[in-house]
Amino acid sequence: GENVEQHPSTLSVQEGDSAVIKCTYSDSASNYFPWYKQELGKRPQLIIDIRSNVGEKKDQRIAVTLNKTAKHFSLHITETQPEDSAVYFCAAIVPGTYKYIFGTGTRLKVLA
Amino acid sequence: GAVVSQHPSRVICKSGTSVKIECRSLDFQATTMFWYRQFPKQSLMLMATSNEGSKATYEQGVEKDKFLINHASLTLSTLTVTSAHPEDSSFYICSASDGLAGDTQYFGPGTRLTVL
């Protein structure tokens, strides 16, 4: 079945620097990859997603890239701000279903 | 749009009692709803998938007789934790998809269950 690995588990960056979080998936038929941001005790919030028919998607300071051949996708946050501090989860959809398999999460700390 | 609510937000119960958690899609019809459990500092683990009017599909290792799921309408799914024990204490989160942009799941705010 689908398996998603996420690295790093923790990431500290200075305010204004960029942050990159990487995920790999196992099922080459997976075609949808969302990223969620979760603050402590709150619900996961969708921040960006990408489908397998595109290689990159950008929304202001956030971008996601997808390499289908290598089966990995990455989240890029530029010009980080303290409010970007949270746990970020990648996910991959299980082919033929609407189910997600989540990565293990990355705790991002943006240092002011 | 795409708002999902969950009730209650927190519940404390005694061991052996049952607890019901409601998940509602407020501004869309949810063809599919999902229930997750999240332990502290861990990822979201899918427990089950429910479709309106049919039996839920449980993930491997999740006891269907302990975690009863009912999806009676296109806007409401309930999770009942039966005969709760301290090890059931966790953060339970539901999500819903509308079947239009069918892939996207919208999450509820979660329910913190503490079993004494």
Q: B75-86 pLDDT, tens per residue? A: 999 999 999 999
Nearest CA in chain A to B94: A43
Average pLDDT of span A28-55: 94
Q: Is the separation of the CB atoms in B92 and B110 below 8 Å?
A: yes
Task: Determine, for residues B49 and A46 on separate chains, whether the beta-carbon distance falls below 8 Å.
Answer: no
Average pLDDT of span A70-81: 97
The residue with greater pLDDT, B29 or A87, is A87
B30 close to A (CB below 8 A):
no
Q: What is the pLDDT of residue B4?
A: 95
Q: What is the pLDDT of residue B2?
A: 84
Task: Determine, for residues B34 and A99 on separate chains, whether the beta-carbon distance falls below 8 Å.
Answer: yes
The SS3 assignment for B17 reads coil
Nearest CA in chain A to B38: A41
User: Is the pLDDT score of A39 beyond 70?
Assistant: yes
Residues of A with CB under 8 A from a CB of B: 32, 34, 36, 41-46, 49, 51, 89, 93, 97-105
Q: Tell me the DSSP string of A37-85.
A: EE-TTS--EEEEEEETT-SEEEETTEEEEEETTTTEEEEEE-S--GGG-
Cβ neighbours of A40 in B, within 8 Å: none
Q: What is the pLDDT of residue B100?
A: 66
Q: What is the pLDDT of residue B102?
A: 63
pLDDT-based confidence at residue A98 (cuts at 50, 70, 90) = confident
pLDDT-based confidence at residue B103 (cuts at 50, 70, 90) = confident
Residue pairs spanning A and B at CB distance below 8 A: 52
- Looking only at Cα atoms, what is the longest distance across chain A? 44
Give residue-wise pLDDT tens across range B6-62. 999 999 999 999 999 999 999 888 888 999 999 998 999 999 999 888 889 999 999
